[in-house]
Amino acid sequence: MSPLVAARAQMGISLVFHIVFAAIGIGLPLLLVIAEGMYLRTRQTHYLALTRKWAKATGLLFAVGAVSGTALSFELGLLWPKYIQIAGAVAGPAFGLEGFAFFIEAIFIGLYLHGWDRLSPRAHWLCGIVIAISGAASGILVLAVNAWMQLPIGFTMDATGRVTSTDPAAIFKTYAWVAMSLHSTLACYSSVPFAVAAIYAMGWLRGRRDAYHRSGIVIALAVGGVAAVLQPMAGDAIAKFVYQTQPAKFAGMEGEFKTLRYAPLHIGGFPDVNSRRDVDDIEIPGGLSFLATHHFDALVKGLDDIPRQDWPDVPAEHFAFDVMVGCGTLLLFVSTIFWGWWWRHGSGILAHRWMLWMIVLAGPLGFIAMEAGWFVTELGRQPWVINGVLRTADAVTPNQNVPIFFFGFFLLYLLLAIVVVALLRHIGNLPAETHSP
Protein backbone atom coordinates (compact mmCIF):
# COMPACT_ATOMS: atom_id res chain seq x y z
CA MET A 1 0.00 0.00 0.00
CA SER A 2 1.49 3.34 -1.08
CA PRO A 3 1.60 6.34 1.31
CA LEU A 4 -1.00 8.12 -0.83
CA VAL A 5 -3.47 5.23 -0.77
CA ALA A 6 -2.92 4.61 2.95
CA ALA A 7 -3.26 8.31 3.81
CA ARG A 8 -6.48 8.68 1.83
CA ALA A 9 -7.90 5.50 3.35
CA GLN A 10 -7.00 6.67 6.84
CA MET A 11 -8.61 10.08 6.37
CA GLY A 12 -11.65 8.42 4.83
CA ILE A 13 -12.17 6.06 7.77
CA SER A 14 -11.50 8.84 10.28
CA LEU A 15 -14.04 11.17 8.70
CA VAL A 16 -16.69 8.48 8.26
CA PHE A 17 -16.35 7.73 11.98
CA HIS A 18 -16.06 11.30 13.26
CA ILE A 19 -18.89 12.74 11.17
CA VAL A 20 -21.39 10.54 13.02
CA PHE A 21 -20.36 11.96 16.39
CA ALA A 22 -20.14 15.50 15.07
CA ALA A 23 -23.71 15.16 13.76
CA ILE A 24 -24.95 13.80 17.08
CA GLY A 25 -23.23 16.70 18.86
CA ILE A 26 -25.33 19.06 16.73
CA GLY A 27 -28.63 17.19 16.50
CA LEU A 28 -29.13 15.60 19.92
CA PRO A 29 -28.77 18.78 22.05
CA LEU A 30 -31.66 20.35 20.12
CA LEU A 31 -33.89 17.40 21.02
CA LEU A 32 -32.63 17.73 24.59
CA VAL A 33 -33.61 21.40 24.79
CA ILE A 34 -37.08 20.72 23.36
CA ALA A 35 -37.75 17.85 25.78
CA GLU A 36 -36.62 19.84 28.82
CA GLY A 37 -38.61 22.86 27.64
CA MET A 38 -41.70 20.68 27.42
CA TYR A 39 -41.06 19.43 30.95
CA LEU A 40 -40.70 22.97 32.31
CA ARG A 41 -43.94 23.98 30.59
CA THR A 42 -46.07 20.92 31.46
CA ARG A 43 -44.27 19.30 34.43
CA GLN A 44 -45.02 15.92 32.90
CA THR A 45 -42.28 13.58 34.13
CA HIS A 46 -41.87 11.58 30.94
CA TYR A 47 -40.33 14.68 29.33
CA LEU A 48 -37.84 14.83 32.19
CA ALA A 49 -37.06 11.14 31.69
CA LEU A 50 -36.32 11.78 28.02
CA THR A 51 -34.12 14.74 28.92
CA ARG A 52 -32.06 12.78 31.43
CA LYS A 53 -31.59 9.84 29.06
CA TRP A 54 -30.54 12.05 26.16
CA ALA A 55 -28.24 14.05 28.43
CA LYS A 56 -26.28 10.90 29.32
CA ALA A 57 -25.97 9.96 25.64
CA THR A 58 -24.90 13.50 24.75
CA GLY A 59 -22.12 13.47 27.34
CA LEU A 60 -20.81 10.09 26.22
CA LEU A 61 -20.90 10.83 22.49
CA PHE A 62 -19.36 14.27 22.96
CA ALA A 63 -16.38 12.66 24.70
CA VAL A 64 -15.90 10.11 21.91
CA GLY A 65 -16.27 12.81 19.28
CA ALA A 66 -13.57 14.82 21.04
CA VAL A 67 -11.21 11.83 20.86
CA SER A 68 -11.87 11.17 17.17
CA GLY A 69 -11.61 14.89 16.37
CA THR A 70 -8.24 15.10 18.14
CA ALA A 71 -7.02 12.13 16.11
CA LEU A 72 -8.12 13.91 12.92
CA SER A 73 -6.15 17.02 13.82
CA PHE A 74 -3.00 14.91 14.25
CA GLU A 75 -3.66 13.18 10.93
CA LEU A 76 -3.87 16.46 9.07
CA GLY A 77 -0.40 17.46 10.23
CA LEU A 78 1.22 14.05 9.90
CA LEU A 79 -0.26 12.92 6.60
CA TRP A 80 -0.68 16.16 4.67
CA PRO A 81 2.23 18.51 5.49
CA LYS A 82 2.04 20.44 2.20
CA TYR A 83 -1.66 21.09 2.78
CA ILE A 84 -0.97 22.44 6.26
CA GLN A 85 1.83 24.62 4.88
CA ILE A 86 -0.58 26.34 2.49
CA ALA A 87 -3.84 26.13 4.40
CA GLY A 88 -2.53 26.94 7.86
CA ALA A 89 -2.28 30.67 7.27
CA VAL A 90 -5.70 30.86 5.59
CA ALA A 91 -7.78 28.22 7.35
CA GLY A 92 -6.10 28.43 10.75
CA PRO A 93 -8.42 31.18 12.07
CA ALA A 94 -11.49 29.11 11.17
CA PHE A 95 -10.04 26.15 13.08
CA GLY A 96 -9.33 28.51 15.99
CA LEU A 97 -12.90 29.82 16.07
CA GLU A 98 -14.19 26.24 15.91
CA GLY A 99 -12.00 25.49 18.92
CA PHE A 100 -13.64 28.31 20.90
CA ALA A 101 -17.09 26.93 20.08
CA PHE A 102 -15.95 23.45 21.06
CA PHE A 103 -14.65 24.58 24.45
CA ILE A 104 -17.83 26.56 25.16
CA GLU A 105 -19.82 23.43 24.37
CA ALA A 106 -17.60 21.34 26.65
CA ILE A 107 -17.93 23.80 29.54
CA PHE A 108 -21.71 23.93 29.34
CA ILE A 109 -22.04 20.16 28.94
CA GLY A 110 -20.21 19.93 32.27
CA LEU A 111 -22.57 22.45 33.82
CA TYR A 112 -25.57 20.67 32.35
CA LEU A 113 -24.63 17.16 33.45
CA HIS A 114 -23.63 18.16 36.98
CA GLY A 115 -26.11 20.98 37.49
CA TRP A 116 -29.38 19.08 37.85
CA ASP A 117 -29.56 19.70 41.61
CA ARG A 118 -27.32 22.79 41.70
CA LEU A 119 -28.89 25.12 39.14
CA SER A 120 -32.40 26.45 38.94
CA PRO A 121 -34.56 24.62 36.38
CA ARG A 122 -34.53 27.62 34.02
CA ALA A 123 -30.76 28.12 34.32
CA HIS A 124 -30.23 24.43 33.64
CA TRP A 125 -32.41 24.63 30.52
CA LEU A 126 -30.50 27.71 29.33
CA CYS A 127 -27.27 25.72 29.63
CA GLY A 128 -28.83 23.23 27.23
CA ILE A 129 -29.58 26.02 24.77
CA VAL A 130 -25.94 27.12 24.87
CA ILE A 131 -24.88 23.52 24.16
CA ALA A 132 -27.21 23.34 21.16
CA ILE A 133 -26.00 26.69 19.76
CA SER A 134 -22.29 26.08 20.35
CA GLY A 135 -22.51 22.57 18.89
CA ALA A 136 -24.08 23.92 15.71
CA ALA A 137 -21.58 26.80 15.62
CA SER A 138 -18.68 24.37 15.91
CA GLY A 139 -19.84 22.45 12.87
CA ILE A 140 -20.58 25.59 10.87
CA LEU A 141 -17.17 27.11 11.60
CA VAL A 142 -15.19 24.01 10.70
CA LEU A 143 -17.15 23.84 7.45
CA ALA A 144 -15.51 27.14 6.51
CA VAL A 145 -12.29 25.16 6.06
CA ASN A 146 -13.94 22.65 3.75
CA ALA A 147 -15.70 25.43 1.84
CA TRP A 148 -12.30 27.07 1.33
CA MET A 149 -10.89 23.78 0.02
CA GLN A 150 -13.69 23.75 -2.56
CA LEU A 151 -13.31 27.45 -3.38
CA PRO A 152 -9.82 28.61 -2.31
CA ILE A 153 -9.86 32.42 -2.08
CA GLY A 154 -8.38 35.18 0.04
CA PHE A 155 -4.68 34.42 -0.40
CA THR A 156 -1.77 34.83 -2.79
CA MET A 157 1.30 32.66 -3.34
CA ASP A 158 4.77 33.44 -4.66
CA ALA A 159 6.64 31.47 -7.33
CA THR A 160 7.93 28.99 -4.74
CA GLY A 161 4.43 28.09 -3.54
CA ARG A 162 4.74 30.04 -0.27
CA VAL A 163 1.65 31.88 0.99
CA THR A 164 2.50 35.59 1.01
CA SER A 165 -0.78 37.36 1.67
CA THR A 166 -4.03 36.19 3.22
CA ASP A 167 -7.53 37.31 4.09
CA PRO A 168 -8.64 34.67 6.62
CA ALA A 169 -12.18 36.06 6.70
CA ALA A 170 -12.66 35.79 2.92
CA ILE A 171 -14.41 32.41 2.96
CA PHE A 172 -16.95 33.65 5.52
CA LYS A 173 -18.14 36.20 2.98
CA THR A 174 -18.95 33.65 0.28
CA TYR A 175 -22.08 31.86 -0.84
CA ALA A 176 -20.06 28.61 -0.64
CA TRP A 177 -19.77 28.69 3.15
CA VAL A 178 -23.42 29.65 3.66
CA ALA A 179 -24.73 26.94 1.32
CA MET A 180 -22.49 24.18 2.72
CA SER A 181 -23.23 25.14 6.32
CA LEU A 182 -26.98 25.13 5.77
CA HIS A 183 -26.91 21.80 3.93
CA SER A 184 -24.69 20.04 6.49
CA THR A 185 -26.48 21.43 9.55
CA LEU A 186 -29.86 20.33 8.21
CA ALA A 187 -28.34 16.89 7.57
CA CYS A 188 -27.52 16.69 11.28
CA TYR A 189 -31.01 17.83 12.27
CA SER A 190 -32.43 15.16 9.98
CA SER A 191 -30.19 12.15 10.60
CA VAL A 192 -30.09 12.25 14.40
CA PRO A 193 -33.85 12.72 15.02
CA PHE A 194 -34.83 9.96 12.60
CA ALA A 195 -32.39 7.58 14.32
CA VAL A 196 -33.82 8.56 17.72
CA ALA A 197 -37.38 8.12 16.47
CA ALA A 198 -36.49 4.64 15.20
CA ILE A 199 -35.23 3.62 18.64
CA TYR A 200 -38.45 4.67 20.35
CA ALA A 201 -40.61 3.21 17.58
CA MET A 202 -38.90 -0.14 18.14
CA GLY A 203 -39.63 0.17 21.85
CA TRP A 204 -43.29 0.81 21.02
CA LEU A 205 -43.37 -2.28 18.82
CA ARG A 206 -42.00 -4.29 21.75
CA GLY A 207 -44.94 -3.26 23.89
CA ARG A 208 -43.57 -0.19 25.70
CA ARG A 209 -46.59 1.90 24.81
CA ASP A 210 -46.35 4.82 27.18
CA ALA A 211 -46.03 8.60 27.09
CA TYR A 212 -42.24 8.33 27.32
CA HIS A 213 -41.89 6.43 24.04
CA ARG A 214 -44.67 8.36 22.31
CA SER A 215 -43.01 11.68 23.11
CA GLY A 216 -39.64 10.37 21.99
CA ILE A 217 -41.10 9.55 18.58
CA VAL A 218 -43.07 12.78 18.22
CA ILE A 219 -40.30 15.20 19.30
CA ALA A 220 -37.73 13.48 17.09
CA LEU A 221 -39.97 13.37 14.01
CA ALA A 222 -41.01 16.99 14.50
CA VAL A 223 -37.40 18.14 14.23
CA GLY A 224 -36.46 15.55 11.61
CA GLY A 225 -39.55 16.31 9.55
CA VAL A 226 -38.83 20.04 9.35
CA ALA A 227 -35.22 19.34 8.36
CA ALA A 228 -36.30 16.80 5.74
CA VAL A 229 -38.60 19.40 4.14
CA LEU A 230 -35.93 22.13 4.12
CA GLN A 231 -33.08 19.90 2.97
CA PRO A 232 -34.04 19.77 -0.76
CA MET A 233 -33.88 23.58 -0.87
CA ALA A 234 -30.44 23.56 0.74
CA GLY A 235 -29.36 20.84 -1.69
CA ASP A 236 -30.56 22.97 -4.58
CA ALA A 237 -28.32 25.82 -3.37
CA ILE A 238 -25.34 23.46 -3.15
CA ALA A 239 -25.97 22.14 -6.67
CA LYS A 240 -25.91 25.63 -8.12
CA PHE A 241 -22.67 26.46 -6.29
CA VAL A 242 -21.02 23.29 -7.61
CA TYR A 243 -22.25 24.00 -11.15
CA GLN A 244 -20.70 27.47 -11.07
CA THR A 245 -17.37 26.60 -9.45
CA GLN A 246 -16.60 22.86 -9.96
CA PRO A 247 -17.74 21.64 -13.39
CA ALA A 248 -15.88 18.32 -13.05
CA LYS A 249 -17.65 17.52 -9.79
CA PHE A 250 -21.02 18.58 -11.18
CA ALA A 251 -20.64 16.42 -14.29
CA GLY A 252 -19.32 13.53 -12.20
CA MET A 253 -22.34 13.58 -9.88
CA GLU A 254 -24.55 12.68 -12.81
CA GLY A 255 -22.00 10.88 -14.96
CA GLU A 256 -22.50 13.41 -17.76
CA PHE A 257 -19.76 13.06 -20.38
CA LYS A 258 -21.07 15.36 -23.10
CA THR A 259 -21.43 19.13 -23.00
CA LEU A 260 -25.13 19.66 -23.63
CA ARG A 261 -28.06 21.95 -23.44
CA TYR A 262 -31.11 20.21 -22.03
CA ALA A 263 -28.65 17.92 -20.21
CA PRO A 264 -30.53 14.93 -18.73
CA LEU A 265 -30.59 13.83 -15.11
CA HIS A 266 -29.26 10.28 -14.80
CA ILE A 267 -30.95 8.27 -12.04
CA GLY A 268 -29.22 5.04 -11.11
CA GLY A 269 -27.17 3.22 -13.69
CA PHE A 270 -23.42 3.05 -14.01
CA PRO A 271 -21.22 5.66 -15.73
CA ASP A 272 -18.78 3.73 -17.94
CA VAL A 273 -15.67 5.92 -18.16
CA ASN A 274 -14.17 3.79 -20.93
CA SER A 275 -17.08 4.06 -23.36
CA ARG A 276 -18.04 7.44 -21.85
CA ARG A 277 -21.73 6.69 -21.53
CA ASP A 278 -24.22 5.82 -18.82
CA VAL A 279 -25.43 2.23 -18.61
CA ASP A 280 -28.84 1.10 -17.28
CA ASP A 281 -29.81 4.54 -16.02
CA ILE A 282 -33.13 6.36 -16.08
CA GLU A 283 -32.90 9.71 -17.88
CA ILE A 284 -35.00 12.78 -17.15
CA PRO A 285 -34.55 15.11 -20.16
CA GLY A 286 -33.31 18.55 -19.16
CA GLY A 287 -33.20 17.55 -15.50
CA LEU A 288 -29.50 18.28 -14.96
CA SER A 289 -29.73 21.65 -16.71
CA PHE A 290 -32.69 22.53 -14.49
CA LEU A 291 -30.81 21.41 -11.37
CA ALA A 292 -27.96 23.72 -12.36
CA THR A 293 -29.88 26.89 -13.19
CA HIS A 294 -33.67 26.26 -13.02
CA HIS A 295 -33.67 26.47 -16.81
CA PHE A 296 -34.07 23.33 -18.89
CA ASP A 297 -31.97 24.71 -21.76
CA ALA A 298 -28.89 25.64 -19.67
CA LEU A 299 -25.52 24.51 -21.00
CA VAL A 300 -23.84 21.91 -18.78
CA LYS A 301 -20.15 21.23 -19.27
CA GLY A 302 -19.46 17.52 -19.70
CA LEU A 303 -16.43 15.51 -18.68
CA ASP A 304 -15.28 15.25 -22.30
CA ASP A 305 -14.34 18.95 -22.17
CA ILE A 306 -12.33 18.54 -18.96
CA PRO A 307 -8.77 17.11 -18.98
CA ARG A 308 -8.85 13.42 -18.04
CA GLN A 309 -6.33 13.93 -15.23
CA ASP A 310 -8.76 16.32 -13.56
CA TRP A 311 -11.70 13.89 -13.45
CA PRO A 312 -12.97 12.62 -10.10
CA ASP A 313 -13.83 8.96 -9.54
CA VAL A 314 -17.01 9.25 -11.60
CA PRO A 315 -18.72 5.90 -10.82
CA ALA A 316 -18.14 6.29 -7.05
CA GLU A 317 -19.26 9.91 -7.00
CA HIS A 318 -22.39 9.21 -9.06
CA PHE A 319 -23.34 6.25 -6.84
CA ALA A 320 -22.84 8.32 -3.67
CA PHE A 321 -24.94 11.14 -5.11
CA ASP A 322 -27.79 8.76 -5.96
CA VAL A 323 -27.64 7.23 -2.46
CA MET A 324 -27.74 10.67 -0.82
CA VAL A 325 -30.68 11.91 -2.87
CA GLY A 326 -32.54 8.60 -2.57
CA CYS A 327 -32.22 8.43 1.21
CA GLY A 328 -33.20 12.08 1.59
CA THR A 329 -36.26 11.53 -0.57
CA LEU A 330 -37.32 8.54 1.53
CA LEU A 331 -36.99 10.56 4.74
CA LEU A 332 -39.18 13.28 3.26
CA PHE A 333 -41.71 10.63 2.25
CA VAL A 334 -41.79 9.05 5.73
CA SER A 335 -42.15 12.43 7.41
CA THR A 336 -44.97 13.45 5.07
CA ILE A 337 -46.86 10.20 5.65
CA PHE A 338 -46.42 10.36 9.43
CA TRP A 339 -47.50 13.98 9.90
CA GLY A 340 -50.28 13.68 7.33
CA TRP A 341 -51.78 10.79 9.26
CA TRP A 342 -51.07 12.48 12.62
CA TRP A 343 -53.03 15.55 11.50
CA ARG A 344 -56.05 13.33 10.81
CA HIS A 345 -55.75 10.68 13.54
CA GLY A 346 -53.46 12.05 16.24
CA SER A 347 -51.48 9.56 18.32
CA GLY A 348 -53.77 6.80 17.07
CA ILE A 349 -51.37 6.46 14.17
CA LEU A 350 -49.03 4.58 16.50
CA ALA A 351 -51.52 1.71 16.57
CA HIS A 352 -50.51 0.88 13.00
CA ARG A 353 -47.50 -1.44 12.96
CA TRP A 354 -46.69 -0.60 9.34
CA MET A 355 -46.13 3.02 10.32
CA LEU A 356 -43.86 2.07 13.20
CA TRP A 357 -41.85 -0.28 10.99
CA MET A 358 -41.53 2.48 8.41
CA ILE A 359 -40.03 4.74 11.09
CA VAL A 360 -37.68 1.98 12.24
CA LEU A 361 -36.47 1.25 8.71
CA ALA A 362 -35.96 4.97 8.08
CA GLY A 363 -33.76 5.26 11.18
CA PRO A 364 -30.35 4.80 9.55
CA LEU A 365 -31.21 6.57 6.29
CA GLY A 366 -30.23 10.02 7.53
CA PHE A 367 -26.74 8.89 8.50
CA ILE A 368 -26.38 6.99 5.23
CA ALA A 369 -27.39 10.11 3.29
CA MET A 370 -24.99 12.26 5.30
CA GLU A 371 -22.04 9.93 4.75
CA ALA A 372 -22.89 9.64 1.04
CA GLY A 373 -23.06 13.43 0.82
CA TRP A 374 -19.57 13.76 2.25
CA PHE A 375 -18.33 11.19 -0.26
CA VAL A 376 -19.80 13.35 -3.03
CA THR A 377 -18.10 16.43 -1.57
CA GLU A 378 -14.69 14.86 -1.11
CA LEU A 379 -14.56 12.43 -4.05
CA GLY A 380 -15.89 15.12 -6.36
CA ARG A 381 -13.04 17.48 -5.47
CA GLN A 382 -10.41 14.91 -6.37
CA PRO A 383 -7.71 14.87 -7.64
CA TRP A 384 -7.34 18.16 -5.75
CA VAL A 385 -7.00 18.53 -2.00
CA ILE A 386 -7.26 22.32 -2.47
CA ASN A 387 -9.32 22.77 -5.61
CA GLY A 388 -7.17 24.03 -8.49
CA VAL A 389 -4.23 24.80 -6.19
CA LEU A 390 -2.78 21.61 -4.68
CA ARG A 391 -3.20 18.05 -5.89
CA THR A 392 -3.74 15.31 -3.34
CA ALA A 393 -0.73 13.37 -4.61
CA ASP A 394 1.50 16.41 -4.02
CA ALA A 395 0.15 17.09 -0.52
CA VAL A 396 0.77 13.68 1.04
CA THR A 397 3.77 12.91 3.22
CA PRO A 398 6.58 10.89 1.60
CA ASN A 399 6.99 8.84 4.79
CA GLN A 400 6.78 5.13 3.95
CA ASN A 401 5.37 4.19 7.37
CA VAL A 402 1.91 5.60 6.63
CA PRO A 403 0.34 2.12 6.18
CA ILE A 404 1.40 1.27 9.75
CA PHE A 405 -0.36 4.39 11.04
CA PHE A 406 -3.40 3.46 8.96
CA PHE A 407 -3.81 0.09 10.67
CA GLY A 408 -3.12 1.66 14.07
CA PHE A 409 -5.81 4.32 13.66
CA PHE A 410 -8.20 1.73 12.24
CA LEU A 411 -7.85 -0.32 15.43
CA LEU A 412 -8.37 2.84 17.50
CA TYR A 413 -11.65 3.63 15.79
CA LEU A 414 -12.76 0.00 15.96
CA LEU A 415 -12.11 -0.02 19.72
CA LEU A 416 -13.97 3.28 20.16
CA ALA A 417 -16.93 1.93 18.18
CA ILE A 418 -17.14 -1.18 20.38
CA VAL A 419 -16.94 0.88 23.57
CA VAL A 420 -19.59 3.33 22.34
CA VAL A 421 -22.04 0.59 21.40
CA ALA A 422 -21.57 -1.14 24.75
CA LEU A 423 -22.03 2.08 26.74
CA LEU A 424 -25.05 3.19 24.73
CA ARG A 425 -26.68 -0.19 25.33
CA HIS A 426 -25.99 0.27 29.03
CA ILE A 427 -27.51 3.77 29.02
CA GLY A 428 -30.53 2.50 27.09
CA ASN A 429 -31.15 -0.23 29.65
CA LEU A 430 -31.01 2.14 32.61
CA PRO A 431 -34.40 2.86 34.18
CA ALA A 432 -35.91 6.21 33.23
CA GLU A 433 -35.23 8.95 35.81
CA THR A 434 -38.31 11.00 36.45
CA HIS A 435 -37.52 12.77 39.73
CA SER A 436 -37.60 16.54 39.51
CA PRO A 437 -34.37 18.47 40.10
Cα separations in angstroms, 71 against 131, 166, 242 = 23, 27, 30
Which residues on neighbouring strands pair with residue 414, listed in sequence order? none
Of 46, 430, 432, nearest to 219 (Cα)? 46
Q: How far is the C-alpha of 241 from the C-alpha of 194, rounded, in Å?
A: 28
What pLDDT is attached to residue 437? 43
Cα–Cα distance between 73 and 95 in angstroms, integer?
10
CA atoms within 13 A on the CB side of 233: 8
pLDDT at position 97 = 86
Contact 28, 101 (CB under 8 A): no
Nearest to 138 by CA among 165, 193, 100, 108: 100
Domain ranges of the chain: 1-164+400-437, 178-399
Q: Which of 421, 31, 375 is nearest to 194 (CA)?
A: 31
Can you list the residues of the chain whose pLDDT is less than 50? 435-437
Q: Phi, psi (5° rounding) for residue 165?
A: -150, 135
Query: Looking at residue 195, what is its pLDDT?
Result: 94
Of 128, 22, 32, the closest CA to residue 67 belongs to 22
